[in-house]
Structure 1
């Protein structure tokens, strides 16, 4: 079985920060959606808790 760690490391060094930025962007968007849902979920109830 050939050793594939060196070619994969060489490819990842050539790509730059694109994957890291993409993952960070997706995590940030999902976190913002989750935070908005958590903060706004209490406004939709139909209870009369005056």
Structure 2
């Protein structure tokens, strides 16, 4: 097992954080799609009762 100094780990995590809005954008899109599906289900389920 390789041992890295703490400064190397911090540097690597800082580089990973500078990759852009990739992870945040994925989470926002996933929550939006799930939310749209739930809203559509909630609105359309009322039409089946008539």
The TM-score range, normalised by the shorter chain, is 0.5 to 0.7
| Aligned structure 1 segments of 4 or more residues deviating by more than 6 angstroms | none
- Counterpart Cα distance in 2 of 1:41 and 1:11: 47
- Taking the aligned partners of 1:18 and 1:11, their CA distance within structure 2 comes to 13
Structure 1: gaps of 5 or more residues: none
Higher helix share: 2
CA RMSD of aligned residues (A): 2.3
Deviations 1:5-39 (A, max 9, x none): 72563143222101101100000000000000011
